[in-house]
Amino acid sequence: MDKKIVMFFLFIFYSAFGLSYDEIKDAYYRSYQYEKTGNYEDAIKSLMPVYKSYPEGYTINLRLGWLYYLDKKYANSIFHYEKAMKSAPYSIEAKLGYTLPLLAQGKYTDVEKVCYQILNTDFYNYYGNLRLSFVLRMQKKYDTAEKVINKMLVIYPTDVNFLLELGLLKFITGKKDDAKKILGDVLILDPENVTAKEYLEK
């Protein structure tokens, strides 16, 4: 559909709720500016008129979920991400966002479930697999975690994040020689990697 037509319908839709396109655009602009300075509270406040006019909207709830996460208000973040997922059930970005406040609270079982939902849609989704391998490791599901990591290393052979996960997994399971080699490879690719340095010193 032509972009001008889309913007016209968006304008009509939002105007029905009492906000003009320019008012919405300005609210988002101010929100982004506040976010850049770390002022998450005002970034959220800037969007409240939009949210009040469009409380079930996907974009506004996705944005608020992110801002509340940054502001460490995890219950609020979860609330808005859930609304975004309800609005767009197949959205991967909403599910990935939803994992963030869950991870921050150590809710690894919940994150695992969401990651599998993501992988049902996108089997090789980068962050879905990375976060899944992490929460599996944290739950001591080492064999499954390693399968996820190795699957991704086939298509991302030099990816530092997955190599680091594999190195940590080898370290935890007592395979110190393997861990030393893999973490050494991480430092070749990322010489300032703090975690790799820390575990190599161990």
- Each residue of 151-189: pLDDT tens digit? 999 999 999 999 999 999 999 999 999 999 999 999 999
Average pLDDT over residues 118-137: 98
User: In which band, very low, low, confident or very high, does the pLDDT at 202 lie, cut at 50, 70 and 90?
Assistant: confident
The answer as to whether 97 is a domain residue is: yes
Number of domains in the chain: 1
- In a domain? residue 148: no
- For the record, the structure tokens of 43 come out as 């970034």
Q: How far is CA 144 from CA 109, 113, 166, 171, in A?
A: 14, 14, 12, 16
Residue 29 lies in a domain: yes
Give domain status of residue 112, yes or no. no
Query: What is the dihedral sign for C-alpha 87, 93, 99, 101?
Result: negative
Give yes or no for a contact between 57 and 87, defined as CB atoms under 8 angstroms apart: yes
**158 occurs within a structural domain:** no
Q: Is residue 52 part of a domain?
A: yes
Average per-residue pLDDT for the chain? 93
Residue-range definition of the domain harbouring residue 71: 1-104
User: Which contacts (CB < 8 Å, 24+ apart) does range 28-37 have?
Assistant: 28/63, 31/63, 31/67, 35/67, 35/70
Confidence band of 14 (pLDDT split at 50, 70, 90): very low
Cα 91 to Cα 2, 34, 58, 76, 139: the distances in Å are 23, 26, 10, 19, 26
- Cα distance between residue 67 and residue 6, in whole Å: 27
Is 126 inside a domain boundary? Answer: no
On whether residue 40 sits in a domain, the answer given is yes
pLDDT of residue 5 exceeding 70: no
